[in-house]
Structure 1
Amino acid sequence: MDLKLAGKTALVTGSSSGIGAAIALALAREGVAVVVHGRHRQRAEAVVAAIEGAGGTAALCLGDLAVPGQAEAMVHEARAAFGTIDILVNNVGGSSDVSHPDWFGASLDEWADNYGSNTLAAVRLIKAFVPAMRDKSWGRVIQISSRNAISPHHQFAAYGAAKAALNNLTLSLSKSLEGSGVTANAIMPGLIYTPQLDEWFAMTARQLGSEDPNVGRAHILRNVVKQTVHRTGMPDDIAFVTCMLASPLNDFMTGTIFRVDGGATPTL
């Protein structure tokens, strides 16, 4: 199916690896010129090279979006790359928590750091790029949230609260963009595979008396994450939904928060 994305431009934050890289590659395959963003030049350059090697168009910008000066420089670089940004994917973030045995273990600095990297970083870029989208009567804003926003763990309370704020601002943003041609939606991934999970799978398997990491993986999916889909989520699962939300064909959906979690969230 042609998603009618050819000729559009996008900025995908945190796209030097993982979910962000998958989103950048998927949009590029649809004909989108993509600004790849990260904090590590070599990894970001590898994503740009992969896009260009497949015949796509990409540019690079670097910077830590939690640091105002670096964020401003990154905005300038992204604007300079293609002249305009049609699609903003706020993927950067993640947990800066340390795992704690109870809710009260997290310091106030952890709460502030999580809010800064997950919520304020998105607000900065929305303020930077969305007014121009509104002026030309077309644009897409897509936040990458987390199922922790609505089904939080006590060990990572600050992270879940920051993602809940991201969901909330997505809905308020959609209302402020009424009739503008710009939509705002969010995606809540569940457990998405990265190589960092391998040690968790192996350790869980050993606790169960097995040396097979797949035993640990299956136990985690069924008994810890409690998915109803018995496979690990992959970055491409999130990239697929992102492309659908970015499409010009999808102009009747805004202010919506999507769960893409293998059925793990036990709520409506």
Structure 2
Amino acid sequence: MNLDLLGKRALITGSSAGLGEATARLLAAEGAAVVIHGRSKDRVEAVAASIREAGGTADTALGDLATDEGAADVARAATADGAVDILVNNAGFYRHVSWAEATPTEWNDTYNVNVVSGVRMIQHLVPAMRGRGWGRVVTIGGGLASQPMNTHPQYNATLAARHNLAVSLARDLKGTGVTSNVVSPGAILVDATRELVTQIGPARGWGRTWDEIQPNAVEALIPNDQERFGEPDEIAAAVAYLCSTYAQYVSGATIRVDGGLIRSAF
């Protein structure tokens, strides 16, 4: 399917690895000129170079979105060679801490990175989309927004905020030709997920090798109809659809990509 992204320019925040990298690669393969963002020059340039070697168009933007100055730097770099038509707010982080360990400082830091950073990029880039009468904003959220775990509460809450702001933005963009939507992943098998599950698996009796641990981890943590972890490319595909011309009638929506997650009590 041709998603009609040729000639569109897309900034994917946090795209030097993980879901952001997978999304950037797919959008580039569909013809979009992508802007790879991160804080590590080497990692950002490596991803961009790989996309160019595959025949795509990729530029880079370095900066810390958790500061006003860093976000402004990223916006300037992203628009240096053309207006940004697509903003994928993917950048974020979490620390696996308990309620007792989640201090007010931890809450503030997580909220700034996971919520306010996205707001900064929206305010830098969306007004021009509105003026041109076309644009896409896709926010990466998560199932923990509506069904939080008892751990890392500061992260769960920021996902809820990301979902909420995306819908509010969609209402504000009524009639402009710009859409705002959420892609809500389940547990996706990025390096951090594999590392965490491998670390806690033996102590929970799931096994010692990855082949032993994975099915038990899925059953214990994320029971779903597909009986597996998701893959980054599956999230990228949902983002690509929302960025396409086929999704013009989709706004304020949340697309779950979680295998049909059956969430039980934790």
TM range, smaller chain: over 0.9
1:152 deviates by 0.7
Partner of 1:172: helix, strand, or coil? helix
Instruction: Say whether residues 1:176 and 2:172 are aligned partners.
Output: yes
Per the alignment, residue 237 of structure 2 pairs with 240
Query: Could you list the per-position Cα deviations for residues 171-216 of structure 1 after superposition, in whole angstroms to 9, with x for gaps in the alignment?
Result: 1110111110000001111111123334444455534374432221
Q: 1:67 to 1:178 in 2, by over 3 A?
A: same
1:146 to 139, 142, 149: 142
Q: Aligned partners of 1:60, 1:89: CA distance in 2, in Å?
A: 15
Amino acid across the alignment from 1:220: A
Amino acid across the alignment from 2:110: N
Partner of 2:245: helix, strand, or coil? coil
Tell me which moved more, 70-79 or 18-27: 70-79
Amino acid across the alignment from 1:239: A
Number of equivalenced pairs: 263
Q: Aligned partners of 1:158, 1:201: CA distance in 2, in Å?
A: 20
Per the alignment, residue 155 of structure 2 pairs with 159
Q: Aligned partners of 1:252, 1:12: CA distance in 2, in Å?
A: 22
Per the alignment, residue 124 of structure 2 pairs with 128
Amino acid across the alignment from 2:48: V
Gaps of 5+ in 2: none
Partner of 1:230: helix, strand, or coil? coil
Q: CA RMSD in A?
A: 1.6
Q: Trace 1:3-22 onto structure 2 (pairs within 5 A).
A: 3-22=3-22
Q: Aligned partners of 1:142, 1:199: CA distance in 2, in Å?
A: 27
Query: Could you list the per-position Cα deviations for residues 76-115 of structure 1 after superposition, in whole angstroms to 9, with x for gaps in the alignment?
Result: 11111x22000000000121x3421xx3431001111111
Q: Trace 1:180-259 onto structure 2 (pairs within 5 A).
A: 180-203=176-199, 206-207=202-203, 208=205, 210-259=207-256
1:140 deviates by 0.2
Q: Aligned partners of 2:55, 2:126: CA distance in 1, in Å?
A: 28
8 Å Cα contact 1:204-1:216 kept in structure 2: no
- TM-score normalised to the size of structure 2? 0.94
Q: Aligned partners of 1:48, 1:193: CA distance in 2, in Å?
A: 22
Q: Aligned partners of 1:79, 1:170: CA distance in 2, in Å?
A: 22
Q: Aligned partners of 1:98, 1:218: CA distance in 2, in Å?
A: 22
Tell me which moved more, 145-154 or 202-211: 202-211
Query: Could you list the per-position Cα deviations for residues 35-62 of structure 1 after superposition, in whole angstroms to 9, with x for gaps in the alignment?
Result: 1000111111111011101111010111
Q: Aligned partners of 1:23, 1:126: CA distance in 2, in Å?
A: 18
Q: 1:203 to 1:167 in 2, by over 3 A?
A: closer
The ranges of structure 1 where at least 4 consecutive aligned residues each deviate by more than 6 angstroms after the TM superposition are: none
Q: Aligned partners of 1:203, 1:79: CA distance in 2, in Å?
A: 41
Per the alignment, residue 39 of structure 2 pairs with 39
Per the alignment, residue 76 of structure 2 pairs with 76
Q: 1:209 to 1:250 in 2, by over 3 A?
A: closer
Gaps of 5+ in 1: none
Partner of 1:48: helix, strand, or coil? helix
8 Å Cα contact 2:65-2:113 kept in structure 1: yes
Partner of 2:246: helix, strand, or coil? coil
Partner of 1:43: helix, strand, or coil? helix
8 Å Cα contact 2:206-2:217 kept in structure 1: no
Q: Aligned partners of 2:42, 2:119: CA distance in 1, in Å?
A: 27
1:239 deviates by 0.3
Q: Aligned partners of 1:196, 1:73: CA distance in 2, in Å?
A: 28
8 Å Cα contact 1:12-1:91 kept in structure 2: yes
Q: Percent identity?
A: 40
Q: Trace 1:39-58 onto structure 2 (pairs within 5 A).
A: 39-58=39-58
Amino acid across the alignment from 1:256: A
